[in-house]
Amino acid sequence: MTKDTENLGRAVEPVRREPFDFARWWDRVGILVVLAALVVFMAVFAPNFARIDNLLNIARSISVNAILAAGMTFVILTGGIDLSVGSIIAVSGVVAVIAAIAGVPAPAAVILGMVVGAACGLANGALSAYMGLAPFIVTLGTMTFLRGLAYTITAGQPIVSSALNFRDIGNGYFAGIPVPVIVMAIVYLVAWFLLERTRYGRHVYAVGGNPEAAKLAGVRVKRIITSVYLFAGACAGLAGVIFAARVVSAQPTAGTGYELDAIAAVVLGGTALAGGRGRIVGTLIGSVILGVLSTGLILMNVPFFTQLLIKGVVIILAVAIDSLKQRTFSFRLPLFSRSAPPRS
């Protein structure tokens, strides 16, 4: 560009910064404050909570859900949803265990599980992006289908293999840290790098922010949409392998309802269900909050039924805060509010 186009125009719009903006503050640190409060509370009231071995246990127990939630974050950032990840856990676990029993070496069995998950995700993504079907419906369908597939392959019975060659990915330790925790850390590093440091990540946000504008700005929207489901599927496949390793068996019922925990972690972490807004770090914190909450409540001997009550309230509270900060005039529906009061 030459000098001709420099310094056009005159008017400068004053941009006022609000002295304190709750929304921005909450976006940045709100969820961390919740986590810190929760940890302090548990450290004080839950016996043995603050012991290293317990903290490592929490880390291990959240790893499956956290890995699922990492993939789910990509999907939700594009404005989609993936209900099938829980069923993918079962299918990939079953396939990996059967392969291991058939003599496939451990690393290959693990990768096979991931590939199976990625293939399921690819189907979700292609159906959503290229057939234009609603992701909610597509993944509701594949959720049911894949669960059925897991039951069919196993004839409804768990396949137990006490000599499972990849059991260490669920139960082992490396340098004193549980292996699934290390795997989780790697998944989050990769996810963070993709979202924050690559063009791909910006495109994911763009698709969620406004698909039409993204298309006209030069984003291959369909490809991006397909890829996030593929990534979510691969994450679910990996989670399925870890789950199978931990229980040292292939369970056709594995992962039932896990998709909802993953969604809860994502939303707790501040990612908008409408897409385009959120952070992968938030998802990790969201998963930790859910994990700390359940472990702490167990340590405090809170009955399981009550735990569910508390978890439900926490999720709704988190979303309520999220929607409160989004509050604008747009929540009014002129369609209905325009009419006069009902006549008697």
Interface residues with another protein (CB under 8 A) are 1-2, 4-17, 197-199, 202-203, 205-206, 209-210, 212-220, 276-277, 329, 332, 334-343
Strands (E), the chain: 159-160, 173-174, 177-178, 249-250
Least separation in angstroms between residue 9's CB and another protein is 3
The DSSP code sequence of 100-144 is HHTT--HHHHHHHHHHHHHHHHHHHHHHHHTS---HHHHHHHHHH
> To the nearest whole angstrom, how small is the minimum distance from the Cβ of residue 18 to another protein?
9
Q: How far is the CB of 13 from another protein (least distance, A)?
A: 5
Q: How far is the CB of 41 from another protein (least distance, A)?
A: 33
Parallel, antiparallel, or unpaired: how do β-strands 249-250 and 159-160 relate?
antiparallel
Query: Which CB sits closer to another protein, 40 or 217?
Result: 217
- Whose Cβ is closer to another protein: residue 201's or residue 291's? 201
Q: Which is nearer to another protein, 21 or 173 (CB)?
A: 21
Residue (126 or 300) nearer to another protein, CB: 126
Taking the complex as a whole, how short is the minimal distance between the CB of residue 216 and another protein, in angstroms?
5
Residue with smaller CB distance to another protein, 205 or 258: 205
* Residue 208 or 255 having the CB closest to another protein: 208
Which residue stretches of 130-209 are H helix? 135-154, 168-171, 179-197, 199-209
Cβ-contact 112, 165 below 8 angstroms: no
CB of 182 to another protein, least distance (A): 23
Distance CA 59, CA 167 (A): 18
User: Considering Cα of 144, then 149, then 155, then 158, what sign does the dihedral take?
Assistant: negative
Q: In Å, what is the CA distance from 310 to each residue of 35, 36, 269, 302?
A: 15, 18, 18, 10
**Residue (222 or 311) nearer to another protein, CB:** 222
CA 182 to chain centre: 17
Which residue type sits at 231?
A: F
Smallest gap, in angstroms, from Cβ of residue 121 to another protein? 22
